[in-house]
Amino acid sequence: MEFKQAHRLENLHVSGTRVVFGKCAELAAQGIPVTALTLGQPDFDTPQYIIDACKKALDEGKTRYTDGSGIQELKEAVCQKLEKENGLHYTPNEISVTTGVAQGMFVALLSTLNPGDEVLVPDPVYLTYSEIPNIAGAVIKKYDLLEENDYQVDVDQIRSLITDKTKMLVIVSPSNPTGGVLSRTSLEAIAAIAKEHDLLVLSDEIYDRFVYDDEQELVSIASLPGMKERSIVLNGFSKSMAMTGWRLGYIAAPENMIEPMNRLSFYMTAGATTFVQYAGVAGLLETWPELPVYIHRGDVTDGSGGDLLFHRLGEKNQRYYKEGDKLTVGGLTLDVLETPGHSTGSVCLLVEGQGVLFAGDTLFRGSCGRCDFPGGDYRAMLKSLARLGALEGQYTVYPGHDSATDMDYERKYNPYMKQGMNV
């Protein structure tokens, strides 16, 4: 018998990534050192608390079939994550748990694309998006992401590619492989086009925690007005939690889209691995479950009525400290010194018996923290610096930014401390 593959696979190429990965494994088995740059593999191990949660689930017998769309606990945890980190509002009925984002891609694309439909895909892009639409009989049209344009979309090019057969536009932000992050302006332009031409948008956000530019705003397109109802969001656990081999991801979309995706997904896998799902719950909700987070009550708001990030911490972990409090960290005792100026609630931490001062944003080498933010007060800063300068003895000082210094140097050369001590 002569075997002939299905016609739908004739245009499906072998993954170059996997070819190179296999070659790397072959060389490594021969004792040849290899640095593999082919896969998005984190350089850290899966956190222990996730591993422990998986072991606990196994010990408790959580090994049976579950709802094909995912366990309720995980879907609720995903909703909380999307709400807090991405500004997205979903219910558990709008979440489908998958065996990794790769399966999510298959489910999302095969559930929505018909033969002849056109889908706009970025170039460059993770190879799966250049292959899966072919299986559905769809037509891929590529739009450019260019370095000289900071990897933002060319709106005119996208408009030129749209026809009456265009069904979907794919975005990957942060991007694999460019690392580019689509700006709010780019996303708003894409949203306008999607609404104008009644397009679906598939947004792959698996790298949403990998933004290294403090000035870069990470925006999910589904959070923009009128976009949730036409957006399919993909995310998972592989990258930020180093759970690549665990194969766990999820789709977030309106319930009318999720229902057919769940039907298709069931026939693919019958659901993600049960005990892995419980590990995913821990990954989302139980990070450092017993770790207290200390904040001064003066920093609950920014001084203008706006909430600071710390204010959003759960009551379970949040602690308030004040002048004279002592904190114990391991075998160290830290004295809390209130040093307002940079903010109302700025503090420094003095390590008893160690000659060490953690200065936060109060004292820097030869300088001090900014006082022009809401809650800042230059006069208060001078008083705080004078107080630090009056501490008896020598201290190694570790500021919140920049290099370490010592108190004798600051007393001699820091103009702000000298001004404060002479007031």
pLDDT digit string, tens, across residues 345-370: 999 999 999 999 999 999 999 999 99
Q: What are phi and psi of 311, to 5 degrees?
A: -65, -20
**Which of 103-117, 287-301, 322-336, 374-388 is least confident?**
287-301
**Cα dihedral 62→206→16→103 (10° resolution):** 40
DSSP 307: B
User: Euclidean distance between the first and final Cα of the chain, in Å?
Assistant: 96
pLDDT surpasses 60 at 308: no
291 pLDDT tier (thresholds 50, 70, 90): low
pLDDT value of residue 164: 96
pLDDT for residue 176? 87
Which domains does the chain carry? Answer: 16-285 (3.40.640.10), 293-422 (3.60.15.10)
Average pLDDT over residues 118-133: 91
Residue 174: cis peptide before it, omega within 30 degrees of 0? yes
What local confidence, expressed as pLDDT, does residue 211 receive?
82
pLDDT at 317: 65
Q: For residues 100 and 252, what is the distance between their CA atoms, to the nearest angstrom?
A: 13
- Please compute the mean of the pLDDT values over residues 303-331 and round it to a whole number: 69
| The pLDDT of residue 197 is above 60 | yes
Contact 388, 362 (CB under 8 A): yes
Res. 117 pLDDT band, cuts 50 70 90: very high
pLDDT of residue 310: 53
Q: Residue 294 class from Cβ within 10 Å (0-12 exposed, 13-18 middle, 19+ buried)?
A: middle
Q: For residues 11 and 134, is the Cβ–Cβ distance under 8 A?
A: yes
Average pLDDT on 109-117 reads: 95
Query: For 202-221, what is the mean pLDDT?
Result: 86
The mean pLDDT value for 241-266 works out to 94
pLDDT score of 279 more than 90: yes
Cα–Cα–Cα angle for 209, 211, 214, rounded to 5 degrees: 125
Q: How far is CA 352 from CA 325, 326, 327, 334, 386, in A?
A: 12, 10, 10, 6, 20
394-421 tens-digit pLDDT: 999 999 988 899 999 999 999 999 999 9
Q: Are 347 and 338 in contact (CB under 8 A)?
A: yes
Of 135-144, 294-303, 316-325, give the lowest mean pLDDT range.
294-303
Q: How much is the pLDDT for 312?
A: 47
What is the rounded average pLDDT of the residues 269-297? 83
Nearest to 250 by CA among 35, 150, 100, 61: 100
Tens-place pLDDT, residues 43-96: 788 998 899 999 999 999 999 999 999 999 999 999 999 998 899 999 999 999
